[in-house]
């Protein structure tokens, strides 16, 4: 019984093996919770000020350009500077932007334009940060633990995004927007302190300065790898067609269930959390391309069903199933990325990853808001789910190598595993040499002020 249970429960090997992974895990939990609170409070405030689904959806358009520009630059930056410094600077900037939201909400008549300005600023900082954050995982976690690490990170994210929307809904409903933004500020300040405790993560000695040429080099590498290209394209299509979160406030109104808004935002995370708590089986998967495709298909089908049903409890159940599918697809993508991308390109490819899983939702918000104004809220949701499933099928036909990916035989995965083993051996040899130097009589004498032997 114990062995069967351990086969299902999350694999904790990355947590036990790496201090930096533990710090990043806790930091991410705090940061995701803080971001989730703001993610709910900000569109709700735009809705309260305008009453327009298009105005809420326009937030995605405002965030799009900064995300693209700074996401690509952030990838090049992550390969050229200490990644810990990038995390500290961006988390501090997010705290300052949350302070601006708090000050605006405290005005007798809060202004609309600062909300869009802050949304653009958050998008820019997220674009700078995510490549540095994502590229750290492949560096601090062994090759064969990447799926387990991705599952633990997803579990952390779901915990934050479940608690964040629930708290934000209650805070905004009963206390207003200011308390929600105050919680966001406090969370980012704690996150900064945790980032300061991380070990330095300097770039390679021969790393180039951030440049357009370096960004183009990373893009060429991604384009030359059909497996990577498939992970980006499937996630982009799934999020563009089937990410209706921005119109949830209007869906709640249409279903006469205003009380359910926080639950709608949290339902997908609940489904992901359930999958994360039973993710032990994912560590034994070798064909991660199938995991990407099956998860994205399940996401689209569940979103289509959520738009079709009129019973609020069935809608919430469908959203939970969608979250489980999205997490399964995300585990496959993260594992393929971390198992195949060379260390010297990790930051730049992480910048492209940011575009694949962030630009899609931003464009999806615009699509959902515009289509809801044209066809109605529920039609905008179910038709997007159907389009998601169709696009995943077409991409599988166009990029068959994704389905053939095997972590035990793929050339890039084998090359990355060998390079990581060599790097770990060099680091271990260097640490052993340092210990021997400290143990030498001359070294002891120099350290204590005693004469050298």
Nearest to 55 by CA among 115, 98, 102: 115
Q: What tokens does 349 get?
A: 């490819």
Backbone angles phi, psi at 232, to 5 degrees: -65, -45
Query: Which position has the token pair 């599952």?
Result: 151
Find the helix packing angle between 226-241 and 288-308, rounded to 10°. Answer: 10
Q: What distance in Å separates the CA atoms of residue 36 and residue 98, rounded to the nearest whole number?
A: 12
Which residues, in sequence order, are CB contacts of 241 under 8 Å at separation 6+?
300, 364, 367, 384, 385, 387, 388, 391
Counting DSSP H helices and E strands in the chain, the numbers are 20, 0
Strands (E), 196-345: none
Got the DSSP string for 98-131? HHHHHHHHTSSS--SHHHHHHHHHHHHHHHHHHH
Q: What is the DSSP letter of 247?
A: G
Please give the biggest Cα pair distance in the chain. 86
Residues in the chain, pLDDT under 50: 440-453
Q: Specify the pTM.
A: 0.67
Which residues, in sequence order, are CB contacts of 432 under 8 Å at separation 6+?
none
Q: What is the DSSP letter of 358?
A: I
Q: What distance in Å separates the CA atoms of residue 430 and residue 178, rounded to the nearest whole number?
A: 51
Q: What tokens does 375 get?
A: 């066809």
Report the length, in residues, of the chain: 453
Q: What distance in Å separates the CA atoms of residue 11 and residue 8, rounded to the nearest whole number?
A: 9
Residue 4's pLDDT is: 57
For the stretch 415-452, pLDDT in tens is 777 766 666 666 566 655 555 555 543 333 333 233 23
Q: What distance in Å separates the CA atoms of residue 80 and residue 63, rounded to the nearest whole number?
A: 25
């Amino acid at each position: 019984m114990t062995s069967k249970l351990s086969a299902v429960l999350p694999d904790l090997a990355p947590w036990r093996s790496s201090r930096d992974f533990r710090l990043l895990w806790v930091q991410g939990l705090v940061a995701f919770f803080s971001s989730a609170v703001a993610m709910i409070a900000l569109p709700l405030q735009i809705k309260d000020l305008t009453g327009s689904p298009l105005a809420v959806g326009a937030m995605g358009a405002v965030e799009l350009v900064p995300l693209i520009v700074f996401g690509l630059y952030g990838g090049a930056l992550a390969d050229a500077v200490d990644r810990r410094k990038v995390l500290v600077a961006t988390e501090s900037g997010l705290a300052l932007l949350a302070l601006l939201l708090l000050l605006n909400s405290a005005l007798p008549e809060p202004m609309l334009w600062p909300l869009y300005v802050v949304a653009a600023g958050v998008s820019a900082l997220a674009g700078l940060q995510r490549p540095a954050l994502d590229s750290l995982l492949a560096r601090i976690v062994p090759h064969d633990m990447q799926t387990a690490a991705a599952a633990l990170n997803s579990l952390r994210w779901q915990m934050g995004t479940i608690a964040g929307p629930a708290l934000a809904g209650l805070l905004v409903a009963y206390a207003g927007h200011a308390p929600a933004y105050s919680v966001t500020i406090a969370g980012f300040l704690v996150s900064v302190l945790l980032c300061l405790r991380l070990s330095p993560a300097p770039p390679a000695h021969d790393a180039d300065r951030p440049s357009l040429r370096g960004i183009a080099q990373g893009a060429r590498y991604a384009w030359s790898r059909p497996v990577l290209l498939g992970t980006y394209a499937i996630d982009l299509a799934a999020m563009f067609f089937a990410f209706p979160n921005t119109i949830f406030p209007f869906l709640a109104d249409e279903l006469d269930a205003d009380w359910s808004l926080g639950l709608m935002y949290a339902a997908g995370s609940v489904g992901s959390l359930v999958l994360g708590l039973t993710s032990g089986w994912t560590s034994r998967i070798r064909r991660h391309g199938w995991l990407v495709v099956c998860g994205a298909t399940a996401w689209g089908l569940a979103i289509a069903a959520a738009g079709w049903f009129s019973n609020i409890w069935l809608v919430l159940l469908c959203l939970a199933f969608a979250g489980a599918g999205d997490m399964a697809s995300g585990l496959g993508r993260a594992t393929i990325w971390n198992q195949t991308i060379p260390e010297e390109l990790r930051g730049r490819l992480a910048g492209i990853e940011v575009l694949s899983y962030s630009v899609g939702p931003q464009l999806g918000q615009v699509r959902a808001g515009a289509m809801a104004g044209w066809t109605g809220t529920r039609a905008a949701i179910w038709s997007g789910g159907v389009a998601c499933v169709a696009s995943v099928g077409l991409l599988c036909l166009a990029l068959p190598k994704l389905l053939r990916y095997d972590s035990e035989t793929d050339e890039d995965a084998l090359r990355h595993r060998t390079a990581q083993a060599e790097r770990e051996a060099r680091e271990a040899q260097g640490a052993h040499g340092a210990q021997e130097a400290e143990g030498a009589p001359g070294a002891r004498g120099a350290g204590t002020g005693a004469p050298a032997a």
